[in-house]
Chain A
Amino acid sequence: MTEQPNIEMIKQMSGGDVSFEEKMIEIIQRELPKEINLYHEHLKNADYLTAAKDVHKLKHKISILGLEKSYKLAVDYENQLKENKSSLSDAFEDILKNMLGYINTF
């Protein structure tokens, strides 16, 4: 079953500061597609080491959106890419779609 992203962690950090919550969502809406595009580009060019760095960066947003299981998969995938393998790419793609779909509901 697909994990449901949430903004609980952002709410915890905000301590009730709604403007911070809005700012964070706006940043993720803007920054996430750019990071995903870079990752796709590097993966397409089989530049696995750079793609691993992209996954590393994306891990932060995965954890901020409360996706614990997805985070674990991202860790494994990052390590896999460092070894020039990419068999977890489809599963990782699902995580990215899940995040994008969620963040665009705001």
Chain B
Amino acid sequence: MKGPRHRLRRPGVWVGVASVLLLAGCYGNSTQKVTTTVPRTEPEAPPDPVGEAEVPRDACRQPRDPGRVSLHRLNRAEYDNTVRDLLGDTKRPARDFPADDISSAGFDNDADVLSMSPLLLEKSSAAATQVLEDAWRKGTLRSCRLDVEDPMPCARELLSRFARRAWRRPVMDSELERLLSLVTLSRQQGDGSEPGMKLALRAVLLSPHFLYRVELDPAPASPAPHRLTDLELAARLAYFLWSSTPDEPLQTLAEAGELHEPMVLEEQVRRMLADPKAQALVENFAGQWLYLRAVDAAAPDPALFPAFDESLRRAMRQETELFFREFLTSDRPLRNMLDADFTYVNDRLAAHYGLPLPGSDTPRRVSLEGHPERMGLFAHGSLLTVTSLPTRTSPVKRGVWVLEQLLCSAPPAPPPNVEGLPPPVDPSASLRQRMEQHRSDPVCAGCHHLMDPIGFGLENFDAIGRWRRTEEGSGAPVDASGTLPGGTAFEGVTGLRPLLKEDARLGECITHQLLTYALGRGLTEADTCAVADITRQAEARGGRWQDLIIAITGSEPFTHRRGEPEEDTP
């Protein structure tokens, strides 16, 4: 790949490759547009003006580019789940692997940035040895007995069965012969067949056919789109919904060539979502999209927030996980996550929120009737805590989270050397007053008039998600009013919520996020039409998560791919 690859950062039209960037170039109704131009090798397009830019209809009638996913190395979660499903091993050996890189799109399953290193291969080898040794001891792998005199028939059966599941496709005879030669090797060494069997099994788990999800193009250098094979589709589905390998029913359907049929595909998606393994979507998709994974590392100042402890941390994480899990399979439109009238709390979290105690240490589903301020995702302690600083709330972080994760309209990074708060001139000043600096400085105002108001709307929640009317430090009353860039004024979370729920960008943004995760690649300009189509289809079917998932699994980027034209230069 030569130049940087241009990623689509939000739905709507891509503004093209500009060679200059407006410094702090946020549009909107700012009257103070900064005109300094800075030469850039990589464009960072500013977000769209609110409510702008439909994709020209004609553009979407052209033949579509389904894009291509690079050879996808299993990430750590995928490796662990895969050995769990192949061998019943739940020890999560990949915890000792080096951390997976997180792409600019915000997920750790991006094939482009999942690299291989000597350390990782070494760790994979050690993990394979360990899980296979354990499985061998437990007898998981030994469905037949290796005869001392004539072990080959059984060896052949075991290896072809195991490699078929591990490689997510039937094994070729030539491959099987090569595997069996390892059994021959140990026999020649006078060790019998067992060490050779273990070598062969290890070779299966160290092979690129296991460590990578292999998808082949009939013509690797041709940009012509083609349909995935059913086996490749099965792997995409399984790693999307389960972060794991296809199970037997899925692989059987794929081998029979039936999986791509829309009815079959949809039925499989529904079956898979109902399976406990779909918890992977909660952990890996929601875990990153909703920043839930950051809850574990959140560190509110114990002096200022003594109420925050491990049990509260756990309850917060569970609340959002259970909440998301319910939406995944329920009949509620996903948009309702923003103002849902229920949540999951245990006594600890209920007390923290000022809700009636459900009388349980484990989270219970509770109605939020009579507590409008607690309705929806924005009132979740998990999200409110991870978008705060250890000592105080951060309207900027909260605003950026909403813009980036829900509206796909992330502002560019701040200009050099303006990170952090300016010196606190007056310690008794409210946070709101201190943040007025953003508006008085034209370099800051362009973007902060987008981020700050959203964060202000959530200011009634403190840095660990408790409801408050005054600020801890200054004692100033909380001012949770704000005005969105379009000029719409609101008051507090209950005023902000409907504005965001009805925001035109929300639907396509969530499609954008989930499609990115489903494909394991960053989206490009070429995916714009697919995102729009998928969103429309999902809405038409009811706008539930399952509608979105089904629309994605049937979409062109999910079911098709293409080769990659060779570049002239070496």
Asked if A and B bind, the verdict is: no
